[in-house]
Amino acid sequence: MIALEPLLRQHAERFGAPQSAFQAPGRVNLIGEHTDYTGGLVMPAAIDFNTVAVMTPAKNSASVLYASNLQKEFHFDVNGLPEKPKHDWTDYPIGVLWSLRQSGVTVPQFTMTLEGDVPLGAGLSSSASIEVAVAFAALSLAGKSMPLTEIALACKRAENGFVGAQSGIMDQYIACCGVKDHALVIDTRDLTSQPEPLPANVRLVICNSMVKHSHAGGEYNARRAEVDEGTRAVRSINPAIRELRDATLADLEKAHASMSENAYRRCRHIITENARVKEAAAALSSGNMKRMGQLMAEAHASYRDDFAASCPEVDLLVELAAAQPGIIGARLTGGGFGGCTVNLVEAACAEAFRKGIHDAYLERAGIDADIYLCQAAAGASELAFAR
Ligand code: GLA
């Protein structure tokens, strides 16, 4: 978690007395990968890494963003927002202002300091945590309120329409709506969700393969295009199918000949993954952690083999996890192509697990991995401080 007091002081020295501060968390996804743009199910938890946005209304006609981690300032005018992304950190806050404007929210000029501890490019949704923290701050500046799902949708629009990643709603949703000590089973079609408690004797251990990934363009959008191709083929055989969420494996088989082999495999991952999320929700709610672990293993295999979104380093981390003390389940989490594994580990073994997997990965891959012992955290909120 980011320490608030030093950040407030830093903001005050640069911009004057802070008016308010907001935080939004990163997330880890337990199961349900690439299902969130097909109307499907996901099961993320917000984690205790976050982005904090401290802001003050500006007295003149210019706005300033300061990224404390990068020690970089960006000057702009809220009434003449940049029209194109710069392909750097500014795209997320500017994209949010651009998107909120489309929702009719006009923000007065402001100064803002941003600081985060969500590891960047690690598949833990640092970008959504920035977007949601900025959205909360911007809405407060504008004196407007919005339902949490509307805020999540506005941040998703920033990602899709400004930043250029065709991602789904999962990351922004969980950053807004996360529940402490729970994972959330989110239905990405109707945007409802159900909290499932994580057992008190289980820890979320996240292992960073240190292989960086990026979503803007590249592999993520390429996979999505293959999923769209498969969905069109399935729909042309059965028009009752609105989204891939509605399709069964039998539907997919019927349409197999009219799509590429890649599209077929990507869709097979998604159809089987939706079924796994449903089963995982039942396993968690009945405390059947053994089944939960098996489902995570099956999800990893499907993500690796059918969706082709893993990499050798991440596969190694999953393999090594199986031999560590207290392991319940392990899989690649997030958008894929590097990033982190999520591991459910018996709490009493969490430290031994951390050391064991770190040393084994160092020996086998020659990589000094960051391993995080996390708690499932609450969603975004305003932070209290003495003014
Ligand atoms: C990224 C996207 C999400 C989701 C995951 C894969 O995190 O931002 O919308 O598609 O990848 O499950």
Q: Which ligand 1 atom sits nearest the alpha carbon of residue 165?
A: 8
Task: Write down the mean pLDDT value for the chain.
Answer: 96
Q: Which ligand 1 atom sits nearest the alpha carbon of residue 37?
A: 10
Q: Annotated catalytic sites, by residue?
A: 171
Mutate to test the pocket of ligand 1, among 27, 30, 35, 36 (most ligand atoms within 8 A of CB): 36
pTM value is 0.97
Q: Decide whether any atom of ligand 1 lies within 6 Å of the 334 Cβ.
A: yes
pLDDT at 214: 61
Q: Decide whether any atom of ligand 1 lies within 6 Å of the 36 Cβ.
A: yes
Mutate to test the pocket of ligand 1, among 124, 171, 224 (most ligand atoms within 8 A of CB): 171
Mutate to test the pocket of ligand 1, among 188, 220, 227 (most ligand atoms within 8 A of CB): 220
CA–centroid distance, residue 166 to ligand 1 (Å): 9
Question: Which residues are within 8 A (CB) of 110 and not within 5 positions of it... i.e. 6 or more apart?
Answer: 55, 56, 57, 58, 63, 78, 137, 138, 141
Mean pLDDT of all residues in 301-311:
97
CA–centroid distance, residue 18 to ligand 1 (Å): 33
With pLDDT > 70 as the criterion, what percentage of the chain qualifies? 99
Q: Decide whether any atom of ligand 1 lies within 6 Å of the 273 Cβ.
A: no
The model's pLDDT over 143-179, given as tens digits with 9 standing for 90+, comes to 999 999 999 999 999 999 999 989 999 999 999 999 9
The residue whose CA is least distant from atom 5 of ligand 1 is 335
pLDDT at 59: 86
Q: Is the pLDDT of residue 40 over 90?
A: yes
Q: Decide whether any atom of ligand 1 lies within 6 Å of the 44 Cβ.
A: no
Q: Is the pLDDT of residue 62 over 80?
A: yes
The residue whose CA is least distant from atom 9 of ligand 1 is 168
CA–centroid distance, residue 243 to ligand 1 (Å): 17
pLDDT at 238: 95
The model's pLDDT over 97-125, given as tens digits with 9 standing for 90+, comes to 999 999 999 999 999 999 999 999 899 99
Q: Which ligand 1 atom sits nearest the alpha carbon of residue 220?
A: 11
The model's pLDDT over 365-380, given as tens digits with 9 standing for 90+, comes to 999 999 999 999 999 9
Work out the pLDDT band at 217, boundaries 50, 70, 90.
Answer: low
Q: Which ligand 1 atom sits nearest the alpha carbon of residue 123?
A: 7
